[in-house]
Amino acid sequence: MVTITAEHFDLGQICDSGQCFRMRPLAERTFEVIAGDKYLEVSQEGRQVTFFCDVQEYEQFWKSYFDLDTDYGEYIKLINPNDTYLVQAAAAGDGVRILRQELWEMIVTFLISQQNNIRRIRHCIELLCEKYGTLCTTENGRQYYGFPGPESLADLPEDGLMECNLGYRSKYVVRTARAVTEGEIDLKKIREMPCSQAKAELLKYFGVGEKVADCICLFALHHLQSFPVDTHIRQVLDEHYRRGFPNRRYRSCRGVMQQYIFYYELHEKDRKS
Pairing, β 38-45 against β 30-35: antiparallel
Instruction: Tell me if residue 211 is catalytic.
Output: yes
* DSSP structure string for the chain: -EEEE-SS--HHHHHTSSS-SSEEEEETTEEEEEETTEEEEEEEETTEEEE-S-HHHIIIIIHHHTTTTS-HHHHHHTS-TT-HHHHHHHHHTTT-------HHHHHHHHHHTTT--HHHHHHHHHHHHHHHSPEEE-TTS-EEEPPPPGGGTTTS-TTTTGGGT-TTHHHHHHHHHHHHHTTSS-HHHHHHS-HHHHHHHHTTSTT--HHHHHHHHHHTS--TT-----HHHHHHHHHH-TT---TTTTTTTHHHHHHHHHHIIIIIHHHH-
- Residue 67 backbone zone (phi > 0: left; psi -120 to 50: alpha; other: beta): left
Choose the catalytic residue: 63, 199, 204, 211.
Answer: 211
Which are the catalytic amino acids? 211
